[in-house]
Structures are given as structure tokens and as C-alpha cells.
Chain A
Amino acid sequence: MTAPDPILQLGKVRFRWSGRAGFSVAVDQFTVKPQEKVLLLGESGSGKSTLLSLICGTVLAQEGTVNVAGTNLATLSGGQRDRFRAETIGVIFQQFNLLPFGSVTDNILLPLQFAPQRRKRVDAPNEEAKRLCEQLGLPSSLLTERAATLSVGQQQRVAVARALIGDPPLILADEPTSSLDAGSQANFLDLMFKQVDANGVAVMMVSHDPRLADRFDRVIEMKDIARSEREPA
């Protein structure tokens, strides 16, 4: 039996931000298998978020290949990459994940606006949003509230619901717990992983906090897979 195709595969990637900062990052080889939960640890400023941008396809690597769910991002046009991201990847940021003026439901359904295939997989979007919220411990009375009125912990859970809706095969999370206190962190991860396991989604999460390590299938240090350098100004 052959191993399933990786959901994410980076090979000989080199990327440098344009502009004066001149920060560049290089990754020789990095893979994530379907349904795998990977934690990428690294100091702040080591290029973790930059790496996620590369995987998302909001920026393109100057060299090497970024393969997501079997598609080489470099072969797609800008518009196709945006559409591909909407269809394939759920994204969770560190904080300020939500459009503060939109309702909780609006925020959860937002990615479906840009992803027709993903929308097709959801029969009744409002029901699905409600279900996800319940699973994540959010009272359904919050669904119509403006996102700005929620606590940070609640906002992060809405962000998880938004990443999960329509079952994208990969979730990227950029330090989603670092704006939460220790108690909420554990609780948040419990709820998130329960849903992630139920949906069979792969998760790549980046953090600078090694204490989260034991909950993941695999933990990788940024410095083991990537070289980053900053050109002197």
C-alpha cells in the first residue's frame, strides 16, 4: 500500500520579501500528510507567517515548488490561486480574525463566497454555521451578534468554525492561541481538535510556544526545516 499523497509539500523553496526589509526564507523539504496535525515552532520573526503566506499562495516563491493538495501553486494564475485558497484552505490568525462589523454568521460563511465548490458541499449554510458553533461551545444566540461584541476566546472559536465550514482539506493556524490565557488555550485546542478529527482535516499550526507540543502528531522546529536571513540595510 502506498502512502497517500501529501496534502502539503514544499521543495527547495526560496522566498524573499520585496522592499528594503530584505527578509528571506528558504525551505528545502517539508511535507504534511492528510489528516496530520503538525506544530511548527519558531521564534517570532523567524518567518513562520511568511511561510504560511507562501502556502496560502498570497505570495509566490521565487524558487522551488509549493504543492497543496496535489496542485503546484506556481502553475496557477493569481486569480486561480485566490480561488484555490478559498476552496482548499481554512485560515486562522493570531487575533482580529473576524470582520468586526459583520455578524458571526456572516463571518463564518465568508469563505464560501469565494469558493463555489466548497459552498456546494454545504447544504444549508446557516444550519451548518449553527451546528459548528454549538460543537465549539458557542451559544447560538451569538450567531446574529456583531463579531466585535464577542470576547477574544469566542472570536477565535468563530474563526475555527469559519476555517472548518465546507470541509477544506487543510487548516493553517497562525498562533491562534497566543492571545488567549493558559486555561482558554487548552480549552480552545480541545474544541478545535475535536472538530478537526471529526472532519478529518490536516492542520498546520505555527507557534512560538513549545508547551502545546504534546497535542500534535508531529512537532517541527522552524530552524530544522528553514533558513531565514535578513540582509543588512
Chain B
Amino acid sequence: MILRLSFASLMARALTVSMTILAIALSVALYLGVEKIRTGAKASFADTISGTDLIVGARSGSVQLLLYSVFRIGNATNNVTWQSYQGIAARKDVDWIVPISLGDSHRQFRVMGTSPAFFEHYKYRQGRSLAFEQGEPLSDLFDTVIGADVAKTLGYSVGDPIVVAHGLASFAEHKDQPFRVSGILEKTGTPVDRTVIVSLEGIEAIHVDWQSGAQKPGDPTPVEKVRQMDLKPKAITAALVGVSSPLKTFSLQRAINEYAQEPLLAILPGVALQELWGIVGIAETALLAVSVMVIVTALIGMMATIFSSLNERRREMAIYRAMGAKPSTIFGLLILEAILMGAIGAVLGLLFLYIGLFVSQPILDAAFGLWVPIDAPSLREAIVLVAVIAASAIVSLVPALRAYQLSLADGMTVKT
């Protein structure tokens, strides 16, 4: 009954109370949302590459290499020569190697030149292989395989022609050699979804008439003649490597890093990811700290609301006292009230989170390729909610203590 009365008392102050609860709910939703996106981003980053032992590129930073080779973020400052690539490929401790050649684009999507081995060895999310939604792998020189998002955004289907632009975000298009969509990959939730894949030779073919970023004067080489040419690449951007035995990983890495002919860098994807977390960790912590502060602010707001309600509620407290309630009951009543507000706010916040997730899931996916899963609340989230409710109780100690003193001093008569 006391619980019901306390609830009714809250309802009687519906406007201020609902504002307070709304503030708590929004802050909880914000915190949980940040947490969701953070863990979602981490998981989707970690899921992007699996089964690759080493990534090889020109010498730069390991995080940079990881970002441009796997996540298509940023650009390579240097290439790996074809000779070096072949030198590494020929080593006994190399089980497989997949070349990657980046630098061209199709509309907003990047074009990646690679070998058929890519479809065999590229693995994501704990060892899953790429699968075809439609069509088949590259067979012709001008075949392309496109990721799910490319197909969806541009409305392509198998057989459609594609014009590849030279460089990124460039208007100079390789109009003369139109590619054809031979296959569309299933959605992976990785950057592959936003990639146009062609063969290494295809990349060479579109650059036949180009020199250092500009078209050679004169008529373009006819397609038939291009097909006759030797399209062996001169350089690639990076390579994914699988070792013959896990024990060889470090010795191979060392060998590549000390490669005599040119400065190369070999990284372990997992280690580079850890390094990346180290870098974003500060921002991450700052973001979490800010959202915790937002919750604290909302709770302090609640404390202020309870505080300012005390004066108009001295009558209520005097009635309770006259009926035989102890001052400690008054104290408990206010704590209970705060817990009710905190609990409603926390649950509402969870609801807001799920509504927000449902609304933003496709948007995040489309804009950032970030797939935030919608799961049942985890233990971690439950702990956050309980912590918010506990914190509500703690901040309400201050006004509750004040009410305790007031009800002791007032007794039955309310001194005004």
C-alpha cells in the first residue's frame, strides 16, 4: 500500500516527474547506445579479417597498412613491386598469397584488383568464406565481382556494364574498357560489401593508355589489342599471406620486414587490430565518460526535483507522521520514490535503445558499413540498469535526509 501511495504521489506530480524520468531514460539510452555501437564496431572490425596470418605492404605504419588493405580506409603511400611479391610467394613457408591492388574507384566504391585466390582464402567472421548471391567468379579480363552494397546501391545485376574511374573520386573515367558484372557477393558486413573486385590484369588493362594519372594523347588502344598485350602488373598495393605452419609466422614476418630489395612491412592482423584499439581507446573512453556524465547529470536533476518538492510536501509528510510513520519511514519513502523514478527511467531507456537500434540499424549499415546486432539485453546492460537504479537511491539520500530532519522538527505542526 505504501508502494502504491508512493507511486500515486509520483503520478500526482506527473509533469515534473515525467521530465525527470525522461532525462534519465534518454541518458541511459545514450549510454547503452554508445556501448552498443562501440562493441558493434569492435566486433565488426575484428570480424572483417580471419584466417589471414600476415598482411604485407610497403613499409609504413602497421595500423595504416591494416586500414588501407583490409578496411579500405586511407591510401597506401607506396607499392610493393611485382618482383618482391613473387619473391615472397615463392617462399616455402608461404602456403598461399593473395595480391591486392587498390587505387581506382567506381562511383563511391573502391575497386580492388586481386587474383582468384582471394575468393578462396579471404575469410571473415571466424572463417566464413565469400559466397555468391548471383553469377560467378571472374573469368574474363573485363569481369567484375561486386559486393552486396555496391549491387544494392547502384541497382546492378549480373551482366551490367561498369565504367571504372582512375584514381579515387575522379572524373577521369576509363571509358574505353567497360567492365561487366559477372557475379554479386552475398552480404558479409565487411568492406567487401562496398568493393568492386576485378582481376589484377583488369587493373593493368585500364591503365594501358595512361601514364602518371593522365591519358596518353592519341587514340585509345582498342579493346581487342589490349587483350593481346602482356598485362603482368608492375606493382601491387598489398598482399594477404597464409603461412604453411603457424610456427613459421614470426620467422616469415621477420624475413619480410628485413627484405633486402625494398622496404616492406608484414603485420599480424590481430596485433595491428590491438594497436588500433589502443589508438581509438582514448576516444572511446572519452565517449563513455561523457555518456556516464550525462547519466550523472540526469540523476542530479532528479535529486533537485525531489529537493524542490520537499517544501510543498511537508503536509504530506506531516500526515504520515501523525498516522504513526517514523521519520525513517519518510526517509525510505523518498528513497523508494527515487528508485521508482530510476527504475522507470532505466527500463524506458532500454526501450528507447531498442527503438533507436531498429531505426538506426539500416542507416548505420548503409552509411558506415557498421552492423549493430539487436540482441536481447546482455548481463552487462542489466548491470548498467541496476547501477542506474542504485545510483538513483544514492543521490536521493541527500533530499531524503533533509526530509527526515524536517519531519523530526515539524512533528505534526508544519512550521511555515
Give me the interface of A with B, judged by CB distance under 8 Å. 18-19, 21, 49-50, 52-53, 56, 58-59, 78-79, 82-83, 85-87, 91, 93, 96-102, 106, 109-111, 113-115, 148, 162, 174
Contact = CB atoms under 8 A, between A and B. Distances in A.
The 3 closest A-B pairs by CB, nearest first: A86-B324, A58-B411, A114-B324
Interface in B54-72: none
Interface stretch (B211-219, B284-292, B313-321): B313-321
B11 to A, nearest CB: 7
27 contacts: A49-B412, A53-B412, A56-B412, A58-B321, A58-B322, A58-B412, A85-B324, A86-B324, A86-B325, A93-B319, A93-B322, A96-B315, A96-B319, A99-B9, A99-B319, A101-B5, A101-B8, A106-B1, A106-B8, A109-B1, A110-B320, A111-B324, A114-B326, A114-B329, A115-B324, A148-B12, A162-B323
B8 A79 contact: no
A124 B413 CA distance: 32
Interface of B is mostly: helix
Nearest to A54: B411
A106 B5 contact: yes
B411 A59 contact: yes
Nearest to B326: A82
Nearest to A59: B411
Nearest to A55: B412
Interface string B1-30: 110110011011000000000000000000
A143 to B, nearest CB: 15
A56 to B, nearest CB: 6
B411 A53 contact: yes
B327 interface: yes
Contacts of B325: 82, 86, 113-114
Given A56-B412, A59-B411, 5 more contacts: A58-B321, A58-B411, A87-B324, A91-B412, A109-B1
Contacts of B4: 106
Contacts of A98: 319
Contacts of A52: 412
A53 B323 contact: no
A54 to B, nearest CB: 9
Of listed A78, A109, A113, residue having the most chain B CB within 10 A: A113
B412 A113 contact: no
Contacts of B316: 99
Interface in B266-323: 315-316, 319-323
B324 A82 contact: yes
B412 A102 contact: no
B324 A101 contact: no
Contacts of B323: 86, 91, 110-111, 113-114, 162
A113 B326 contact: no
Nearest to A92: B322
Contacts of B9: 99, 101
Nearest to A82: B326
Given A83-B324, A113-B323, A49 B413 contact: yes
B108 to A, nearest CB: 59
A213 B324 CA distance: 30
A162 B411 CA distance: 19
A144 to B, nearest CB: 12
Nearest to B315: A96
Contacts of A111: 323-324
Contacts of A115: 324
Interface in B380-416: 409, 411-413, 415
B326 A97 contact: no
A79 B415 CA distance: 22
Nearest to A97: B319
A171 B242 CA distance: 91
Nearest to A83: B324
Contacts of A86: 323-325
A79 B12 contact: no
Contacts of B413: 49-50, 53
Given A56-B411, A91-B412, A99-B319, A78 B327 contact: yes
Nearest to A56: B412
A56 B322 contact: yes
Contact of A101 (B11, B321, B411, B415): B11
Nearest to A146: B8
A52 B318 CA distance: 13
B328 to A, nearest CB: 8
Contacts of B322: 56, 58, 85, 91, 93
Nearest to B411: A58
